Amino acid sequence: MKDEHIDILTRAIEAANGNLIQTTFFYLRASQASSRNLEKTEFIDKKDEVNSLTAFANQNDCWYNYIKSENYIGEGAEQKVYLADDGRFVLKTNDTIFYASWQDYFISLLIHNTLFPSTAY
């Protein structure tokens, strides 16, 4: 099963070449690798990830600054969904409650986009 996961992830990253999800994932991964020392455990602190993601978003102007509360559609366990102003797209916020790390969340998005390109993020 492990080889199947590696194959899916490899195809997802290749398919996402040049996209923002992949770029963000690799930025987050690199920032964690550079801050990790040999004595530190493999546990990833989501607060550290949020700090890295915030820095990335600031550097790359990746903030979506305004979601209208009146465009609220509904929510699941981890996402709130809003209709975009143009009515053609939805906006989703995610708190990664089902993921051990934000890095895992971005891997999930890459895999989803590979398996379901017609509903890609």
pLDDT tens for 31-84 read 776 555 544 445 678 888 999 999 999 998 888 888 899 999 999 988 999 999
Q: Which two tokens stand for residue 67?
A: 């979601």
- Where is pLDDT greater, at 42 or 21? 21
* pLDDT reported for residue 73: 96
Residue 10 clears pLDDT 90, i.e. is over it: no
Q: Is the pLDDT of residue 18 over 70?
A: no
Q: What was the pLDDT predicted at 12?
A: 56
pLDDT number for residue 62:
85
Interatomic CA distance for residues 32 and 94, integer angstroms: 21
Arithmetic mean of pLDDT over the chain: 80
**Sign of the C-alpha dihedral, residues 75, 92, 120, 20?**
negative
CA dihedral angle for residue 45, residue 93, residue 69, residue 73, rounded to 10 degrees: -140
The Cα 70–Cα 84 span in angstroms is: 11
Q: For position 69, what pLDDT does the model report?
A: 93
User: Three-state SS for 45?
Assistant: coil
Q: Is 84 helix (H, G, I), strand (E, B) or coil?
A: coil
Helix axes 102-115, 46-60, angle to 10 degrees: 60
